Amino acid sequence: MDAFGDLLDGFGTALTPLSLLWAAIGVLLGTAIGVLPGIGPAMAVALLLPVTYGLDPTGAFIMFAGIYYGAMFGGSTTSILLNTPGESAAVVAAMEGHPMAKSGRGAQALAAAAIGHFTGGMIGTLLLVALAPAVADLAVGFGAPDYFAIMVLAFIAVTSVLGASRVRGLASLLIGLVIGLVGLDQMTGQQRLTFGSLQLADGIDVVIVAVGLFAIGEALWVAAHLRRTAAEAIPVGRPWLGRDDVRRTWKAWLRGPLIGFPFGAIPAGGAEIPTFLSYVTEKRLSKHRDDWGRGAIEGVAGPESAASAAGTLGSMLTLGLPTTAVAAVMLAAFQQYGLQPGPLLFEREPELVWGLIASLFVGMVLLLALNLPLAPLWAKLLRIPRQYLYAGILFFAAVGAYAVGGEVVDLVILLIIGLVGFGMRRYGLPVLPAVIGVILGPNAEQQLRRALQISDGSVSGLVNTPFAVAVYVIVALIVLWPLLRRVPVLRRRAG
Amino acid sequence: MSGTGTPAAAGRRSWLREHSELGVCVLLLAVGALTLFDALTMHVEITQRGPVGPRTMPIAVGAGLLAVAALLAVDVLRGGRGEAEGGEDVDLSEPADWRTVLLLAGVFLAAAALIEPLGFPAAGALLFWGAAYALGSRRFDRDPLIAAVLSLVTYVVFNDLLGVPLPGGPLMGVL
């Protein structure tokens, strides 16, 4: 269990010229995507899934990780200068960041956010290095019942914790599970929901579902409600911080990851809840209460640091459990390569895993170097004509779906799923549960059947390990969440 | 759509418009019924291994969909509303612009139909230009140029650099 030795080997992978190139492409694309309105990191990674057909896994994941963190950096730029956050994790950044920009302190807000992301990302990745092998060791003994329990937890958490309405989350999850059922049953070869069509017998590719729901659905939805005049961004100079600002922010930067990492590692914690908790914490600890609401720099520094520290990648790599939309799409990319994230990944693909983790450090440094001096340049991206932006999204969505198998029928399925995504946005059905349903559904079914096969059909076969029992207890707690919600601190968050 | 029919009919119409979310319930119900029907009419062969066959999951999911459809209907009738999703470029204060959505879907289908006869570079350029046009761009000097360059560059990157084959069509045969 020599994690730091493994990490050094990882740097051997991450510092090769080719890996550095993919990391650089990833952080550039990611920052651009984060700044661009309308494109989130999940959509970006979904649109780039076709590169997995031509690229080796290490390069692809180094690039995806760069996009993930780059989008975080870039997303706060949009929040601060435009007051309309694209990523849910960047909502909090607008609350203090935008008033700062309006009062002429945009440069300081951008600097506080960028350094916050850097600190948070570094600490979060260090925690990942320290904890992931232990979690993976623990998880090596997992059997079918344990995996099934984790997936049930993911399903319940993603439908119950995120979004305003549980029944709508559940509807979305079930839509995803139905899409996942289409095709041949993996264990018996039985056709399900294919209606005799050969095309459907192959199942609906996860890439098409992810691109359809995230990209086509979003583009059509925006097209139906396109703002006649795009919001105006506040012009800004090069980010910098005065000594007073540093004195106010450094503690916030360090506190952020303590909140962000644990919450990001649990399903449906994502980056949304920790950023808000960090905001509330900083507000309570601040010596400058009067500034809050009018541009308190701690309110930018803490939450941004928490967002980048989120242990999302940790639970995805060690348990195969996606806690955010980006992680879900990255999981789909692993499946494209026939890799199963989880404890065995650390044993079977150490070069890939540790190369990826090491490249996170490299990516952070690249991002800080890119974002501090170049922020005014990135802000220019906010002026892109929206017609080109959304036409481009449709274009790349079509490329991605067609590249899956070179079949025109895939494009038709893509459009249909896109229309489903449009309807979901119209009626407030969250998209993430559907994507998790498609990605984890077939796997969950297999684990369920395997577990029951071993126990010869007895339901006790699902709860015969302490770990599985513990997970079901957590599931029960989440289901009872509405009662626990009466706790005052949590109610303030909801309101 | 107003001013026609009796007040009762108009009232019914506005009630339906306000409760259009019930359409989601109907769709969920239909998908659930279809899934259940497919599972129940499945010929399970002797090849089934273990106590849980290929029918269990579809039956559970189908039944779940029926239940959720009912719960959602109750929620909507009690006044619950799904919150439409916001965003940077989304203006929810105005009604949905269906013309643009239909135009975009049409352009997308046309490009899909043309990708094999015309090849990817031509069909992709048409898709980009058509979509930009549908979204309101009218720069006839700039739009086709951007579309052509984007489509050609994408074709070369995917086909030649990444090794993901895309149909070149007659155009690439000439070049």
In this structure, chain A runs to a length of 495
Helix, coil or strand: residue A463: coil
Per-residue pLDDT tens digits for A321-354: 887 888 888 888 888 888 888 777 888 888 888 8
pLDDT, position B131: 93
pLDDT, position B30: 94
Region A379-383 average pLDDT: 80
At A296, is the pLDDT very low, low, confident or very high (cuts 50, 70, 90)?
confident
Region A411-418 average pLDDT: 93
pLDDT, position B45: 63
Residue B93 domain-assigned (yes or no): no
Q: Which residues pair with A191 in a beta bridge?
A: A184
Q: Does residue A394 sit at the B interface (CB-CB below 8 Å)?
A: yes
A399:B91 CB<8 A: no
Residue B82 domain-assigned (yes or no): no
Separation in Å, CA of A29 to nearest CA in chain B: 15
Burial of A362 (0-12, 13-18, 19+ CB in 10 A): buried
Number of domains in chain B: 2
Q: Does residue B169 sit at the A interface (CB-CB below 8 Å)?
A: no
Rounded to a whole number, what is the distance in angstroms from the first to the last CA of chain A?
A: 45
Residue of A nearest to B95 (CA): A225
At B28, is the pLDDT very low, low, confident or very high (cuts 50, 70, 90)?
very high
Which residue in the set A167, A181, A388 is minimally distant from B146, CB to CB?
A388
Region A392-403 average pLDDT: 88
Which residue in the set B27, B101, B128 is minimally distant from A391, CB to CB?
B128
At A131, is the pLDDT very low, low, confident or very high (cuts 50, 70, 90)?
confident
Pairwise CA distance, residues A55 & A52, whole Å: 5
Residue A488, pLDDT > 60, answer no
pLDDT, position B138: 85
Both B112 and B145 in one domain: the answer is yes
User: What is the residue type of A478?
Assistant: I
At A13, is the pLDDT very low, low, confident or very high (cuts 50, 70, 90)?
confident
Both B44 and B111 in one domain: the answer is no
Helix, coil or strand: residue A367: helix
pLDDT, position B2: 44
Residue B44 domain-assigned (yes or no): yes
Higher per-residue confidence, A41 vs A164: A41
Q: Which of B77, B111, B129 is the last residue of a domain?
A: B77
Q: Which residues pair with A184 in a beta bridge?
A: A191
Both B11 and B68 in one domain: the answer is yes
Q: Does residue B42 sit at the A interface (CB-CB below 8 Å)?
A: yes
Contact between A217 and A425 under an 8 Å Cβ cutoff? The reply is yes
Region A481-491 average pLDDT: 62
Both B20 and B71 in one domain: the answer is yes
At A194, is the pLDDT very low, low, confident or very high (cuts 50, 70, 90)?
confident
Separation in Å, CA of B144 to nearest CA in chain A: 11
Tell me, what's the ipTM?
Answer: 0.89
Q: Which of B77, B108, B137 is the last residue of a domain?
A: B77
Residues of chain B positioned with their CB less than 8 A from the CB of A388: 132, 137, 146
Strands A183-184 and A191-192 turn out to be: antiparallel
**Which residues, in sequence order, are CB contacts of B122 under 8 Å at separation 6+?**
B114, B151, B169, B171
Contact between A256 and A311 under an 8 Å Cβ cutoff? The reply is no
Residues of chain B positioned with their CB less than 8 A from the CB of A78: 88
Both B46 and B114 in one domain: the answer is no
Residue B166, pLDDT > 60, answer yes
User: Which residues constitute the domain of residue A383?
Assistant: 3-494
Residue A462, pLDDT > 80, answer yes
Contact between A22 and B131 under an 8 Å Cβ cutoff? The reply is no
Q: Which residues pair with A226 in a beta bridge?
A: B90
Region B23-34 average pLDDT: 92
Residues of chain B positioned with their CB less than 8 A from the CB of A426: 82, 84, 96
Separation in Å, CA of A351 to nearest CA in chain B: 22
pLDDT, position B27: 93
pLDDT over 70 percentage in chain A: 93
pLDDT, position A413: 93
Residue A1, pLDDT > 50, answer no
Interface probe for A, chosen from B38, B41, B61, B100 (most Cβ of A below 10 Å), is: B61
Residue B91 domain-assigned (yes or no): no
Both B55 and B12 in one domain: the answer is yes
pLDDT, position A12: 85
Tokens of B165: 């084959």
Q: Which of B47, B77, B107 is the last residue of a domain?
A: B77
Region B36-65 average pLDDT: 80
pLDDT, position A176: 93
Separation in Å, CA of B89 to nearest CA in chain A: 5
Pseudo-torsion of CA A340, A346, A347, A349, nearest 10°?
A: 70
Q: Does residue A158 sit at the B interface (CB-CB below 8 Å)?
A: no
Contact between A223 and B100 under an 8 Å Cβ cutoff? The reply is yes
B82:A225 CB<8 A: no
Nearest alpha carbon to residue B31 among A184, A151, A172, A220: A172
Number of domains in chain A: 1
Region A124-131 average pLDDT: 88
Tokens of A65: 């990780």
A–B CB contacts, 8 A cutoff, strictly below: 237
Residue of B nearest to A419 (CA): B105
Q: 69-128 in B: which are within 8 Å (CB) of A?
A: 69, 71-72, 75, 80-85, 87-92, 94, 96-98, 100-101, 104-105, 108-109, 111-113, 115-116, 120, 124, 127-128
Q: Which residues pair with A192 in a beta bridge?
A: A183
Per-residue pLDDT tens digits for B59-115: 999 999 999 999 999 988 888 777 777 776 777 777 788 889 999 999 999 999 998
Average pLDDT, chain A: 83
Contact between A112 and A249 under an 8 Å Cβ cutoff? The reply is yes
A224:B100 CB<8 A: yes
User: Which residues constitute the domain of residue B105?
Assistant: 98-174
Both B41 and B103 in one domain: the answer is no
Q: Is A204 left (phi over 0), alpha (psi -120 to 50) or beta?
A: beta
Helix, coil or strand: residue B50: coil
Region A95-114 average pLDDT: 85
pLDDT, position B25: 92
Residue of A nearest to B64 (CA): A174
Residue of A nearest to B130 (CA): A391
Residues of chain A positioned with their CB less than 8 A from the CB of B162: 50-51, 53-55
**Which residues, in sequence order, are CB contacts of A280 under 8 Å at separation 6+?**
A489, A492, A493
Residue A181, pLDDT > 80, answer yes
pLDDT, position B1: 42
A427:B82 CB<8 A: yes
Helix, coil or strand: residue A192: strand
Highest mean pLDDT out of A38-47, A49-58, A108-117, A287-296: A108-117
Provide the b/e sequence for A453-483 (b: ≥16 CB within 10 Å): bebeeeeebbeebebbeebbebbeebeeeee
Residue A51, pLDDT > 90, answer no
Pairwise CA distance, residues A30 & B58, whole Å: 38
A188:B91 CB<8 A: no
Residue A163, pLDDT > 80, answer no
